[in-house]
Structure 1
Amino acid sequence: MKNFRYNVEGMVSIGEIVLENGATLPDVTLAYERVGREGAPVVLVCHALTGTHQTVGTSEEPGWWSGLIGEGKSIDLTKYEVITFNVLGGCAGSTGPTSQSPQGTPYRGNFPNVTVRDLVHTQKRALQKLGIETLHAVIGGSLGGMQAVEWATMYPTTVERLVLLASTPAFSAYGIAFNHLAKEAILLDPAFRGGEYEGNENLRGLSIARQLGMVTYRSGALFQERFQRHLQEEANDEGLPFYAVESYLEYQGNKLQKRFDANSYVRLLDTMNSHDIGRERGGWQEAATLITANVICVGYTQDLVYPPEEIQAFAEAVDHGTFHLVDTVFGHDGFLVEFERWGHFVSEALEKSVCKEENQLSG
């Protein structure tokens, strides 16, 4: 198709950034993927904790949202141009703990804390560098949803539509509690060495942190349905029974350990903890009044950390909000699977005319 991009990846340098905590990063670069119809309305996709900018990817290596984004899919690349940035503090090309510091060595554990607002601010600068001033929509789930809702709050005249998936206007104490346990698993690992490790190979703490996350991302019903009390053929190292669910968690932890930087994981957990659109704005309900975009919220049943009722309350608080509930055993991870069950909410949101006159709340 004429003027159709596919799998265009690049880097954009945005220069010096002053973070919310006052720290300065002298030369920030963000990696991005830009796909779709050139000149079409732009949809910004924000990724979750261990995601990357590769939402579509390639036929050989599909991206993490390739089931939702593509020609003829819920986010139709024949109609829209989609951009995703690897977040500041990430480890897939953007400035983060693995990047070179001004001292000529990697930042590692010395990389400063960044907030969700810092992530959004850097993305705004990057879009300006790419010549993009307005966004047809911003969409994201989990940490991606935190960025999306902060986008609509920080830059209301830039964002026409907000699609919020499995995310709330402020991160809960329950979520912070789980993040604390995950951080402790990493920080107390002797191989972590205060963030000055050379590689992830021996970081058992990172694997455990990921396994803990997997328990919160999925529901108990799904674990029971998939694994029950099935045993693996071989016992564990202590000669005790090794259950299929244990094997699954070990696999997920070891997989992340091979591809994700532990310092980035710790920093982004703190980033998630910082999320509250109501901070210094009089509470999240007051901050919600700043949002002028059409807001479409999707919650998922059995989501432990981002309760659907809190997402619905946010939809009710904005001027133009719609809430949808997806019944699923996948819990929080519902926004990464079963696109056929909820993808139409996204496509309808993108097609819907921007309404500025009356609230449109539906269940």
Structure 2
Amino acid sequence: MLSNEQRRRLEKERDSLQNEWDIRNDRLMRIRKTLAIETDPSSQFKYEQQIQNEDNELKRLTDRLDEIEKQLQSVEHKALNTQNKSDNSDLINKIFLKAKKVTPEFLEKVPEIEGYSKAEVVNQIYEMLQDGYLEALPLNSQASQYPEDFQNIKITRRGRGFLRNQYEGLVQQQKILILTAIPHGLRLDREIREIEEAIRRATNRNLFEIRIRTAVRPQDIRRAIAEEQPQIVHFCGHGLEDGSLLLEDDGGNNKPVTPEGLASLFKLHANYVDCVLLNACHSEKTAIAISQYINYAIGMNQPIEDKAAITFAQGFYDGLGFQNSGNKDLFQRAFDEGIVAIQMENLSQGLIPVLKKTLK
């Protein structure tokens, strides 16, 4: 049990670290913008090193901030008025869920929640604002502390910690399953590193988990998807002109798998796979076939250079991890980020990735 003095010290440390985190994050954004327009290789290397250093420091700060929040919340006697939690937990859940459905977790105004009056919702948001689980911006300098006078109601770091500890089921990680097959000169190791790096520096990095399966045979893919139950499947390897993806048989020989075969596979997993990214040449036909059952399928409409394929993957996962405006389609935003990444490197390859979207 923490004493009042220990609690005050932790809160002081938290506020100081949060201020340092904000400063470093702003600095990191400026360095990245500078790197995006820099053409000198030596300067690019310098900025990349600075980015890596800042990323490492931000991770250290984030880990410590999370530790402090857990310590503080473990001894709270009144987390969101817990003495009445049995009476209001459903409303708390729904308010958090309303905020979680947009990115970055904000509500432009007090939401309408079925089964509750506006006054009940306003009162509950007021308590959550007072307890530090939500924050908001006043509409004007004369605004009161009442939620109706605020806009952009947002979950705080403390609120996210509360979600993790008390309502863990509301925060679902996105599992990314990376399947790598016959290299044929493709720089698959580098592609995986770029994906991991993009997720590591993402604003919402805690929402992603990466699993990797290599040297895949058809049965390996079937088992991997069934065992991992991922939300995102990323295939990096080689594709044939007829749209088949090249895998291996039991003897290590080439084994083409047709678009129809892969579509049938994903039909079995359509209840949890949200997006399939086929980072392989000539994979558009397979993406079209898979899109019959999966909401988002990305393929390549012709051969794509190694560098462009890796750059697209990097941009895609950058976009997936960024904070987006409230009405943005997450996977469309990630796809667009991948296209921009290619165009900034090589305009001629920018029309090769295609997104097949069939929302169900």
* TM-score, normalised via structure 1 length: 0.31
Work out which of the two has the higher radius of gyration on C-alpha atoms and give 1 or 2: 2
TM-score by length of 2: 0.31
Higher helix share: 2
**Higher relative contact order (CA closer than 8 Å, sequence separation 6+):** 1
